[in-house]
């Protein structure tokens, strides 16, 4: 006898009703039993949705994090975090572009599980979020036009200097370039448009992003690089989730130790000096090698 699956009207109705209930529960801010950020047996890292890690990022911080021609997120930070999330068993990383100024608050409020955008770890930001260990330490750089006459940060006095709101560059410029006129932008692309159209004289952003804009616009140059080694970039997570933090750190250090970090660094930052602290231990010359 041939088996047939019969769907009786009553069964169908019950299934539709159950699906509707589930949907309404989901749309009520994910309050399906466990609050976002709470760890349970099925969701040990307290993700908004187990099996997916929602990442707040930026669409225009090339080569750290940006969207390619197809609209997909890519870059050093994106590829490193995707690798780390996989190793940590967090599931699929789904990236969303945000304005930098709202990024940490969105992570703190559990709108996202993680913030990944070359976010420097500082004591001030630690009041809002927790961070993984650092994974990148570089420079804050001054991007200007070849014709601006600006050859160093000293030349910024009396000039209009762009900064993206909420960045370390904004804080640093306010403290160290008091005679520059700061012009605040929501993102790098709008600041660089303003630079190219002559409405600002320079833009202050991360070193590798400066290199990337110079490759795109040959009329631009890097006038100065200020070390920001005391604020290495880390992955930002909401406070009070030590399991997620530990899982990220274990996976991050594994990605450093097996050479994945180095491979991504060479891919995305070609020609940049190779920092030693994130390389496999055997390749760190500053670590004294035990004598035989």
Distance, CA of 98 to CA of 164 (rounded, Å): 13
233 lies in the binding site for ligand SNW (CB under 6 A): yes
Among 248, 272, 268, 234, residue whose Cα is nearest residue 61: 268
168 lies in the binding site for ligand SNW (CB under 6 A): yes
Piece in contact with ligand SNW (CB under 6 A), picked from 40-48, 66-74, 224-232, 282-290: 224-232
Which of 58, 129, 223, 255 touches ligand SNW (CB under 6 A)?
Answer: 58
Piece in contact with ligand SNW (CB under 6 A), picked from 30-38, 218-226, 229-237, 259-267: 229-237
Piece in contact with ligand SNW (CB under 6 A), picked from 113-121, 195-203, 235-243, 257-265: 113-121
167 lies in the binding site for ligand SNW (CB under 6 A): yes
- Toward ligand SNW, which CB reaches closer, 50 or 137? 137
Distance, CA of 239 to CA of 166 (rounded, Å): 19
237 lies in the binding site for ligand SNW (CB under 6 A): no
Q: Are strands 52-57 and 73-74 parallel, antiparallel or unpaired?
A: unpaired
Which of 56, 136, 236, 264 touches ligand SNW (CB under 6 A)?
Answer: 136
Size of the site for ligand SNW (CB under 6 A): 20
Task: Give the chain's end-to-end CA distance (angstroms, integer).
Answer: 78
Distance, CA of 213 to CA of 291 (rounded, Å): 46
H runs (alpha helix) in 67-167: 76-87, 100-108
And the tokens for 243? 């399991």
The residues facing 143 across adjacent strands are 203, 222
Dmax over CA atoms of the chain, in Å, equals: 90
Q: Cβ of residue 205: shortest distance to ligand SNW, in angstroms?
A: 6
59 lies in the binding site for ligand SNW (CB under 6 A): no
Q: Which residues bind ligand SNW (CB under 6 A)?
A: 58, 61, 100, 117-120, 136-139, 164, 167-168, 205-206, 228, 231-233
């Amino acid at each position: 006898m041939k088996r047939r699956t019969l769907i009786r009207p009553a069964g169908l109705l019950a299934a539709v009703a159950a699906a509707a209930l589930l949907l309404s529960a989901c749309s009520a801010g994910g309050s399906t039993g466990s609050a976002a950020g709470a760890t349970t047996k099925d969701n040990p890292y307290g993700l908004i949705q187990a099996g997916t890690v929602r990442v707040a990022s930026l669409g225009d911080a090339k080569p750290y994090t940006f969207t390619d021609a197809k609209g997909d997120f890519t870059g050093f930070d994106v590829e490193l975090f995707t690798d780390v999330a996989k190793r940590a068993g967090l599931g699929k990383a789904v990236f969303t572009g945000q304005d930098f100024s709202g990024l940490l608050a969105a992570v703190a409020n559990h709108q996202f599980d993680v913030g990944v955008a070359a976010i420097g770890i500082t004591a001030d930001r630690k009041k809002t979020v927790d961070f993984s260990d650092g994974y990148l330490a570089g420079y804050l750089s001054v991007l200007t036009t070849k014709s601006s006459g600006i050859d160093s940060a000293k030349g910024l006095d009396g000039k209009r200097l762009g900064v993206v709101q909420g960045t370390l560059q904004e804080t640093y410029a306010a403290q160290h370039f008091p005679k520059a006129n700061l012009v605040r932008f929501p993102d790098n692309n709008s600041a660089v448009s303003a630079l190219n159209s002559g409405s600002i004289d320079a833009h202050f952003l991360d070193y590798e992003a400066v290199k990337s804009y110079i490759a795109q616009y040959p009329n631009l140059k890097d006038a100065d690089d200020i070390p920001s080694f005391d604020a290495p970039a880390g992955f930002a997570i909401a406070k009070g989730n030590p399991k997620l933090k530990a899982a990220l750190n274990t996976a991050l250090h594994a990605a450093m130790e097996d050479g994945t970090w180095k491979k991504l660094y060479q891919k995305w930052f070609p020609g940049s000096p190779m920092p030693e602290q994130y390389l496999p231990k055997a390749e760190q010359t500053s670590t004294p090698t035990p004598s035989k």
